[in-house]
Chain A
Amino acid sequence: MSRYLLRQLLGMIVLLLVTSFVIYASLFLAPGSPDALLFGAHTVSPALRAAVNRQYHLNDPFLQQYWYWLVNVLHGNFGTSITYRTPVALRLSAAAPVTAFLVIYSAILIIVSGVALGVLSALRPGKLDTLIMTATNIGTAVPTFVAGLILLAIFGVKLNWFPVYGAGAGFFDRLRHLTLPAVALAFWAVAYLTRVTRTSMREELQGDPVMTARSRGLSRRVVVQRHAFRNALIPIVTVAGLQVAGLIAGTVIVEQVFGLNGLGELLLTSVQDKDFATVQAVSLILVAAFIVVNTLVDITYTMLDPRIRLGANQS
């Protein structure tokens, strides 16, 4: 087990390194010289240009430059924003909490309602099931930004229940401000997870282990919990994890719809400002979060399935 865990973690670190390299190297894929991209349309003094060249080690060999950058990043130094002339790390630390709050809020919504609706739908065939399935059928076709716009129009503008702009301050105010964005972000994933949960539960309910459990006179509660749900959990966790990891990119869209100053918003303004140091930093954080969540899912998945858990140990 621990050897398996170690291998997963090692794989994650390698993947993180390679992605960081790709993000860094993409700077050099740009047409024109790196410093042209760095400065964009800004006219800068030779002194600043020299300082930036020094900071990015633009005169050193490429791999060495990457190494310096990586070491700095690991120390929490993401360089200086060319446009705003402030440390990128400072801007990140202002934006990250909003995005983190949004992602966690949304993840909770997805997991709780997706699994609950899916299980309900699987256990109660008939009208309720049909209703849930129709809703999720439409739900999976609604893009995140469309969901955001619809929620904004109905609950923000028409009913005026929730604020339409900003992230709020303090826990409860933020909760209120981020409710519509979190629901918009969760919308698609809830629909998808509901379907996966239902299919998975249905399959298990008709499966052999459930038949065995029923043949032993176990109560319906025990059969459903210990056998159907427990076994269905394996695909559910995989999909739920992918959904939550996918949220990280989705925040870019939702933050735009609801005017939130999160990482996504920062990324977009940086792209428009050609503020490459910030683009690099935010991309790196988003990708890293994506990879970490995926690894956590892989580990959870193997905890749930003893066949993989011990199989990896034996081989």
Chain B
Amino acid sequence: MTHLLEIDHLSVDLVTHRRYRKVLQDVSITVEKAEVVSLVGESGSGKSMTARSVLNLLPAQGKMSGNIAFEGQSLMDNTNKDWQRFRATKAAMIFQDPRASINPVHRIGDFLTEALVHNRDMDRHEALERAATILEQVGIDDAKRRLRQFPHELSGGMLQRVMIASVLLIEPQLILADEPTTALDVTTQADVIAILDDQRAQREMAMLFITHDLELAAAFSDRIAVMYAGYIVEVSTPAQLHARPLHPYTAALLRSRPLLHERTERLPQISGRPLSAFEAPPGCPFQDRCPYVQAQCSESLPPTQLINGSIVRCHRANELELASTASADAGTEGGQSRE
């Protein structure tokens, strides 16, 4: 069976301070048609770079190795023209901060229609008609007037809807959403996510959703991939992830979120700081912060294993019994205070 998107052993190196540094290591993940897969992780874990790699939008001098395939066709030998065609038709990206990403000097109408006009030679008026229809679908009324406005005249939530509309207009099979609500007010976040998911589902588009918010990811993803230091450490369904996390990092993430029905003096935190891929020690990247660390963890990189349909990268995944809430797991308290 061919997957819609298949990322296979992807590694990415970027130039920072005049030196190549790893940001992604051996990342493998698939997205099926109409499926939502979330990439969850702290900043610097490589989740945005994974999405950017799919469109070949790495920073200058970035290097990719491994394979990315779309509908069974490898993208790695794509020419610039091939990439342009791929971006114009197959996959589109929603960026984090619409205020920065939507060019402030062009009108909303021009922003929405430019891809149709320049890539598909569509008549401008026809493109504007379509744009107006889609604007209404994403919950922007008075669309005709909005098309003539400039980005700074719209609120952040509105602008992100415009961004969503621009992606829907292209009718891609895959949406790459890079923390689409992080820059927005908390109150508008839910609206925007709901609209995005709703419209996507209607059109049967797949989505790779990037977020640092595990709750949010769980709310509407089919599968969740947890990233740490450039590695994918666990891939699972939301239900399974909550019931039985397999990787100590996932468990720690789950425990460190506040719960509505419980009052805690202090939320448990993960000691130490998140690492980037190039800082990770040999062996398991999480070893320095892991309460369950053993000698083998620093000796070799854990292989990925399949347990109950979930993918996990931990030497002790089979023996550990992890819980997703702090109260249900008294045993880890001691482990967490250990440096």
Contacts and interface: CB of A to CB of B under 8 A. Distances in A.
Within 8 Å by CB, do A and B touch in the complex?
yes
Interface of A: 206, 208-209, 211-220, 222, 226-227, 230-231, 234, 304-307, 310-311
B92 A216 contact: yes
Interface of B: 55, 57, 60, 80, 83-89, 92-93, 95, 97, 100-106, 114-115, 118-119, 150, 152-153, 166, 170
Given A211-B101, A231-B105, A216 B88 contact: yes
B92 A304 contact: no
Contacts of B83: 217
B51 to A, nearest CB: 10
Contacts of A234: 105
9 contacts: A208-B97, A215-B57, A216-B114, A217-B84, A217-B115, A218-B114, A226-B106, A230-B103, A231-B105
A237 B265 CA distance: 58
Contacts of B102: 209, 212
A211 B95 contact: yes
Nearest to A204: B103
Contacts of A212: 93, 95, 101-103
A254 B36 CA distance: 69
Contacts of B84: 217-219
A304 B87 CA distance: 29
B269 to A, nearest CB: 32
A219 B106 CA distance: 18
B311 to A, nearest CB: 28
Given A306-B150, A306-B152, A310-B152, A215 B55 contact: yes
Contact of A218 (B93, B115, B152): B115
Given A211-B101, A212-B101, A212-B103, A217 B93 contact: no
A225 B102 CA distance: 16
A222 B120 CA distance: 13
Nearest to A216: B115
A209 B101 contact: yes
A307 B118 CA distance: 25
Q: Which 5 pairs across A and B sit closest by C-beta, in order of nearness?
A: A217-B88, A217-B87, A209-B103, A208-B100, A306-B150
Interface core residue of A219, A230, A304 (most chain B CB under 10 Å): A219
B95 A304 contact: no
A312 to B, nearest CB: 12
Contact of A306 (B87, B105, B118, B170): B105
Contacts of A307: 104, 150, 152
A220 B118 CA distance: 11
Contacts of A227: 103
A41 B36 CA distance: 92
Contacts of A219: 84, 118
A278 to B, nearest CB: 46
Given A231-B103, A306-B104, A307-B150, A214 B57 contact: yes
